[in-house]
Amino acid sequence: MNIRVVIVDDEPLARLAVKLRLARRGSFALVGEFGDGESAHAGILALRPDLVFIDVEMPGKTGLEVLAALPPAQRPMAILLTAYDSFALQAFDLAALDYLLKPVDDERLDEALDRAQQAFPYRAQGRTLPPAAPALRSFSVRVGARTVLVPVAQVERIEADGDYATLHANGKTWLVRERLHNLAIQLDARQFHRVHRSTIVRLDMIAELRSLTNRDALLRLHDGSVLRASRTYMPALAEALQHLDKTSA
C-alpha cells in the first residue's frame, strides 16, 4: 500500500524539490500540494493523507498551527521543513516524525522517508510506535577465519568508512561490511543517534554538547572523544537527548 503524501510550502521551488525526491520512491504517492496554511488545513481534512511535508513558517497560519488545529485522530505523520532550528520542541510536542532544515539534504530526506515507512503500519493500526526497526543486538564481525559477535550494548560510536563502518567498543575497533545509512535505521533510536553524515553515537555516551556559531555542535563523549554534530541532525538529536533525560530521571 502506498503512503499518501501532501506537500505544504509557500515556495513553489521547495515543493518541487520534495516532489522530485518523492518520485524516486515508489512506495509514496503525492495526493496534493498547498501554498498556504489555510488551504492546507482544509485540504488535509479533505484528502486525509498519511504523511505531510509542511513548512513551519508561511504567511498566515504556520505549519505548526495547521498541525495543532487538526484533531489528533486526523493528524497525519508530519515531516517539518524550515530554515531555522528553534521550533524543535514544539515540533515534537505535535509528534512530528522528523524535522528537516532547509536546504534539505538528500540523505536526511531519505532517512525521514525510511522512518515514515517504518512508522506507517503502526500508525494505521493506532499502536504505539516501536523503535525505528527491529533493533540489532549484536554485530557479526569477520576477523580472519573467525566470526566475532560484538554486542550492540558495548558499542559507543560508529563511523562511516566507504562501504564499511567502524565500530568503537570498549577501546577496540571493528570493521563491518555495512553502510552507515543501513545501520542507522536498524539501531534502536532510543539508544543511538546519527549526529553527522559519517557518525552514529550512543546517546548515553554524550557528556557535553557545545553549540557552534554555524548551528553545528561539538560533542564530548565520556571517553574524551570530541565529535562534530551537523546542524541537519541537531533538532532531532536535541529532542532525543531531552527524552533520554526524562526517562533516566
| HEC per residue, 207-247 | EEEEECCCCCEEEEECCCCEEEECHHHHHHHHHHHHHHHHH
Residues 80 and 192 in one domain: no
Residues 40 and 113 in one domain: yes
Residues 23 and 108 in one domain: yes
Residues 119 and 201 in one domain: no
> What pLDDT is attached to residue 136?
77
Q: Which residue range(s) make up the domain with 192?
A: 138-248
Position of cell 563511523? 159
Query: Is 236 in contact with 190 (CB distance < 8 Å)?
Result: no
Domain membership of residue 132 (yes or no) is no
CA angle at residue 187 from 116 to 215, to 5 degrees? 75
Which helix (H) or strand (E) covers residue 47, if one does?
A: helix 37-47
Residues 151 and 237 in one domain: yes
Residues 120 and 142 in one domain: no
Domain membership of residue 217 (yes or no) is yes
The rounded distance, in Å, linking the Cα atoms of 13 and 183 is: 32
Query: Is 174 in contact with 149 (CB distance < 8 Å)?
Result: no
Query: Is 243 in contact with 188 (CB distance < 8 Å)?
Result: no
Last residue of some domain: 68, 93, 124?
124
Residues 60 and 165 in one domain: no
The rounded distance, in Å, linking the Cα atoms of 55 and 42 is: 16
For residues 46, 49, 51 and 53, what is the CA-based torsion angle, rounded to 10 degrees? -40
As for how many domains the chain has, the answer is 2
Last residue of some domain: 100, 124, 148?
124
Residues 119 and 145 in one domain: no
Residues 98 and 43 in one domain: yes
Domain membership of residue 30 (yes or no) is yes
Residues of the chain with pLDDT under 50: 127-133
Chain segment 136-159, per-residue pLDDT in tens: 789 889 888 889 999 999 999 999
> What pLDDT is attached to residue 8?
97
> What is the CATH classification number for the domain harbouring 197?
2.40.50.1020
> What pLDDT is attached to residue 127?
41
> What is the CATH classification number for the domain harbouring 31?
3.40.50.2300
